[in-house]
Structure 1
Amino acid sequence: MRTSSSFVRDVPVLLVAVVWGSSFLAVQRVAEPGTVVAMLVLRFALMLPVLGAFAWPALRRMGRREWLGGALLGLVLSGIFLLETYGAVHTSATNAGLIISLTMVFTPLAESALGRTSLPRAFLAAAGLSVLGIALLTGGGGLKAPSLGDLLMLGAALVRTVHVLTMSRIPAIRGTDSLAATWVQLATATAVFALVAPLAGPAPWTVAASYGPSQWAWLLHLTLLCTLFAFFVQMWAVRTTSPSRVSLLLGTEPLWAAVFGITLAGDHLGPPALFGAVLVLIGTEWGRRTSAPAAQRAVDPESEGDREPEAGPVPTPTPEPDLEPDLESSPASAPASA
């Protein structure tokens, strides 16, 4: 009976990893380089009223400092979404999902550097394995330079790391309701997209009018499943199971991105790139497992309740997600996945 109960709790979280893995393919189905910003406006304009209805009581209790802290994080979040979405339309869905998973490596490295603490040698080995895998994946095993999309996704992974670190260092939002904090971040990011949209391509309503049933289905997939569903499942999961278990399940996101990229998007990986993809998956998961015990030991028991759980990001998170992070396993950063 206990095993059955654990399975029931795990399935929704695993489904979040699956839909996050599909998000890169979904972006390619609804956006082109010239319509990225307009699509982001549409995506979050559809989602904000729904999330806001749930967040309204907590939003009314927020003070000025909490709103400003959330808005600051929202500015960083807008950078993540722009880099991820532009990156996804300029590279393969497989590459996008695997490269963004480097947030799981970057975040502990950055935390270690800022805190002047050492990481286990096993983690450093895992990080090296991941970097080698990315080099093989993006270079095809040769000396070919990464594509523009690959570089944008790498930039998104770095900014996801900044998002996670910034979130943990803004006292004003530390005790803020995660639902309200998420709404403020996403509302701020949407405002940025709306301001940039006139300079970046056709107006959002023009893009909306050009969508057929298929594009609307993919856009609703991004809005309802990759954002709303993912967020509420994470909020539920961290209250019914352990954060480490949630993080482990959400860590399968890059695997699902590769599955969708290869089977549905028709991504073709030669032997060197395929070997690189495997190294990335092994390296990021190995890094996740080896860094978690060290991070747990570093937590002050008196402040453990204030600690952010990942991305992923991710974010997640991550969110994006990682996050993220990739959960970035804090619920407030979950939507940071493309």
Structure 2
Amino acid sequence: MPATRRTDGVLLAVAVVWGSSYLTAKTATDALPVLTVLFLRHAIAALACVPVFRGPGAPSRDERRCGGLLGLTQAAVLVLETYGVAHTSAGNAGLIISLTLVLTPVLDRAPLPGRFFLAAGVCLAGVALLVSGNGLHAPGAGDLLMLAAAVARAGHVVLVGRVTAGRSLRPLPLTAVQSVVGAVLFLGPAAPGLPALSRTAPGTWAQLLYLALCCGLFAFLAQTWAIQRTSATRAGLLLGTEPVWALLVGVGLGGEHLTVLAALGAALVVTGTYWGRSIESARRSGAVPAAPLGAATDLSQTR
């Protein structure tokens, strides 16, 4: 039992860290250009991974090749996410990006029952209410970017599954290569803003360190460690609380406001997401879902 509680605690910590990343990124982009934030996020993670590239634990040729490809798609996801959260609320960002969980099996062309698309419809209705504010209107630019990020992340998840299938790839070297690729990609676009870093406040540096080390390296490695010690369903239920934490952090720490319509939309997004994932999980296991909340997260997902 203590081991189970420890594993559950690690998974819950990952969900909390990921949920808090939206407010952290939003605050960091208030102080620095988006591309500068993205470069530093990858560069700090890459520097922390320098020891990985030395000795017998260095990335293999296969890990370098796969990590390079996944680094490109992950960078595309983070561009959309970071620009999106810079122009919407942290709560909205965390809830809209959770659509990845129902978009992934669609992009993966998995055979799905009709009720899965009903669950997806519940999610879309929730997003419509979530971005409506005090009344229905067109979603803002940030919300649309987060929708695009959800689609891109779902595609990235599918690609992760395809390129790693049948290969013996270690999580840490793979993550290290992706971090280096991201740092190289964003160095050029971020270069004009780098001289201003000397005037960056310590609080902003703390946020960048948190994004790189906690929301990046720690979360991915902790998720991998915990998943090896528990069931996919149990892990999915705990990791699936990420949008809830994003909303709570945004409202509780970020001073964001939640209208009645937005609160209803948030509830629909979470319910639809969990329901859709439970249906997809039951399809893979050949079982019938007992309840809408028995969801399992796609465990190949990276951030």
When normalised by structure 1's length, the TM-score is 0.80
Show the counterpart of 1:45. Answer: 43
Which of 57, 79, 82 is the aligned partner of 1:82?
79
1:43, 1:223 within 8 Å by CA — same for their partners in 2? yes
Show the counterpart of 2:147. Answer: 154
Which of 273, 289, 293 is the aligned partner of 2:262?
273
Letter in 1 for 2:281: A
Which of 195, 210, 214 is the aligned partner of 2:199?
210
SS of equivalent residue, structure 2 residue 162: coil
Show the counterpart of 1:305. Answer: none
Letter in 2 for 1:293: A
1:77, 1:163 within 8 Å by CA — same for their partners in 2? yes
Letter in 2 for 1:5: A
Q: Which structure has the higher relative contact order (CA within 8 Å, separation 6+)?
A: 2
2:45, 2:179 within 8 Å by CA — same for their partners in 1? no
Show the counterpart of 2:106. Answer: 109
Distance 1:61 1:34 in 2: 32
Distance 2:50 2:268 in 1: 41
Letter in 2 for 1:35: P
Q: How many residues align?
A: 295
Change (3 A) 1:147 1:204: same
Give 1:68 shift: 2.9
Give 1:171 shift: 5.9
* CA RMSD in angstroms, aligned pairs only: 2.3
Change (3 A) 1:252 1:172: closer
Give 1:277 shift: 0.8
Give 1:188 shift: 1.2
Unaligned 5+ segments in structure 1 are 299-325
1:9, 1:241 within 8 Å by CA — same for their partners in 2? yes
Unaligned 5+ segments in structure 2 are 288-295
Letter in 2 for 1:134: V
1:173, 1:181 within 8 Å by CA — same for their partners in 2? no
Show the counterpart of 1:25. Answer: 23
Distance 2:31 2:137 in 1: 23
State which drifts further: 251-260 or 177-186: 177-186
Which of 270, 281, 286 is the aligned partner of 1:292?
281
SS of equivalent residue, structure 2 residue 228: helix
When normalised by structure 2's length, the TM-score is 0.89
Task: Report 1:134-213 matches (<5 A).
Answer: 134-140=127-133, 142-170=135-163, 174-198=167-191, 202-206=192-196, 208-213=197-202
Distance 1:273 1:60 in 2: 47
Is 1:97 matched with 2:94? yes
Percent sequence identity over matched residues?
42
1:58, 1:177 within 8 Å by CA — same for their partners in 2? no
Letter in 2 for 1:70: G
Change (3 A) 1:8 1:171: closer
2:59, 2:174 within 8 Å by CA — same for their partners in 1? no
Show the counterpart of 2:290. Answer: none
2:71, 2:177 within 8 Å by CA — same for their partners in 1? yes
SS of equivalent residue, structure 1 residue 267: coil
Change (3 A) 1:210 1:139: same
1:41, 1:194 within 8 Å by CA — same for their partners in 2? yes
Is 1:69 matched with 2:66? yes
Give 1:222 shift: 1.3
Give 1:295 shift: 2.4
Distance 1:103 1:197 in 2: 28
Distance 1:173 1:190 in 2: 28
Distance 1:48 1:214 in 2: 21
Runs of 4 or more above 4 Å deviation: 55-59
2:63, 2:173 within 8 Å by CA — same for their partners in 1? no
Distance 2:121 2:210 in 1: 35
Is 1:329 matched with 2:299? yes
Give 1:274 shift: 1.2
Distance 1:56 1:248 in 2: 37
Give 1:69 shift: 2.8
